[in-house]
Amino acid sequence: MRMSFGLLFRTAKGRWMAKLSRQCSRGSIELFVPQSPPLDPEKVKEFQRFITLSKRLLVMTGAGISTESGIPDYRSEKVGLYARTDRRPIQHRDFVRSAPIRQWYWARNFVGWPHFSSHQPNPAHWALSNWERLGKLYWLVTQNVDALHTKAGSQRLTELHGCMHRVLCLDCGEQTPRRVLQERFEVLNPTWSAEAHGLAPDGDVFLTEEQVQSFRVPSCSRCGGPLKPDVVFFGDTVNPATVDFVHKRVKEADSLLVVGSSLQVYSGYKFILTAWEKKLPIAILNIGPTRSDDLASLKLDSRCGELLPLIDPR
């Protein structure tokens, strides 16, 4: 499947405009959600029993919960980024040590931001936020950086890998909203225009070397240090205090549900091991195999946005 979105940027009355071709509005489900078998009523009943018996449920979500919002995951067969493209995530070490790599990263991120930040929660995010409101969900841990749980109103939430909607200064640690940085980019690059081909739905874009080299990147307005999205890039480690916090929540929980994660990333997988060692019942809702299928008492190969709203959390 060709993923070119024919993005064109122009300044009009001093504002940046994005023209996304019609492909963008095509059904996200068709584009990024792997095929799954029809819902099995017996499995749904079993899952309902699992949720009804849980009094302190910890839910861990991954990229699979956001594919129905139009954000592709990395690892799904046929529809994931690894399967469709040769793009690979940026490495933490490269970002920190190289100003040209940061410039390249931010130029693409600037172009992709209006699209990436416009994604909205889907019925799975809304269901989990509702479970929290009704006292069913004890804690929510997400590996996603798309802010969709926050947009759906979840509060008892740990974003294990940070969030793209925040920016962090690598020197002084100050956090600022990503939208403020977008305004600073616009001020610093008033004549910069780019015709970018192949905008990926995750906000990644392709630019020529020339375009990147003329892009100006602001630094921290407090100390002048380099700015980075407040996310854990590949090759970096999750803050130990955050890991410790989540381990405590897992130990306080009485059951664990994984939603939309293949658990290939170790930072998420180790919490499943903790739950398993504590003999907590584990359910996994994910299309396709996961690293922990053999630890789960219940495995469901269904779409998150189709199954979760069917469950009564009371």
Which residues participate in the annotated binding site for Zn(2+)? Answer: 169, 172, 220, 223
Quote the least distance from Cβ 154 to Zn ion, whole Å: 29
Q: Which of 17, 134, 188, 223 binds Zn ion (CB under 5 A)?
A: 223
46 residue type, one letter: E
Quote the least distance from Cβ 218 to Zn ion, whole Å: 11
Quote the least distance from Cβ 163 to Zn ion, whole Å: 18
Beta strands in 3-56 (DSSP E): 7-12, 15-19
Is 161 in the active site?
yes
On the CB side of 113, CA atoms within 13 Å amount to 23
298 forms beta bridges with 283
Site for Zn ion in 97-156 (CB under 5 A): none
Alpha-carbon dihedral sign for residues 177, 70, 162, 212: negative
Of 22-30, 134-142, 220-228, 280-288, the window that binds Zn ion (rule: CB under 5 A) is: 220-228
Query: Any contact of residue 180 with Zn ion (CB under 5 A)?
Result: no
Question: Which strands sit side by side in the sheet containing 175-177, from one edge to the other?
Answer: 175-177, 162-169, 227-231
Q: Which of 57, 60, 220, 246 binds Zn ion (CB under 5 A)?
A: 220
**Judged by CB, which is closer to Zn ion: 168, or 194?**
168
Nearest residue to 186 via CA among 114, 124, 128: 114
| Cα(61)–Cα(154) distance, integer angstroms | 13
Quote the least distance from Cβ 176 to Zn ion, whole Å: 9
| Cα(243)–Cα(186) distance, integer angstroms | 36
Query: Any contact of residue 172 with Zn ion (CB under 5 A)?
Result: yes
Q: Residues 260, 285: contact at Cβ < 8 Å?
A: yes
Burial bucket for residue 135 (CB in 10 Å: 0-12, 13-18, 19+):
exposed
| Cα(284)–Cα(261) distance, integer angstroms | 8
Burial bucket for residue 82 (CB in 10 Å: 0-12, 13-18, 19+):
middle
Q: Which of 225, 226, 281, 288 binds Zn ion (CB under 5 A)?
A: 225
Q: Which of 222, 248, 251, 278 binds Zn ion (CB under 5 A)?
A: 222
Binding-site residues for NAD(+) sit at 62-82, 143-146, 260-262, 286-288, 304
**Judged by CB, which is closer to Zn ion: 165, or 228?**
228
257 forms beta bridges with 59, 283
Quote the least distance from Cβ 224 to Zn ion, whole Å: 7
For Zn ion, how many residues bind (rule: CB under 5 A)? Answer: 8
282 forms beta bridges with 256
Site for Zn ion in 253-282 (CB under 5 A): none
**Judged by CB, which is closer to Zn ion: 198, or 225?**
225
Catalytic residue from among 161, 165, 197, 247: 161
R_g (Cα) of the chain, nearest Å: 20
**Judged by CB, which is closer to Zn ion: 57, or 220?**
220
Query: Any contact of residue 175 with Zn ion (CB under 5 A)?
Result: no
Of 1-9, 27-35, 45-53, 224-232, the window that binds Zn ion (rule: CB under 5 A) is: 224-232
Judged by the rule CB under 5 A, the positions of this chain that interact with Zn ion are 169, 171-172, 174, 220, 222-223, 225
User: Which residues does the annotation mark as catalytic?
Assistant: 161
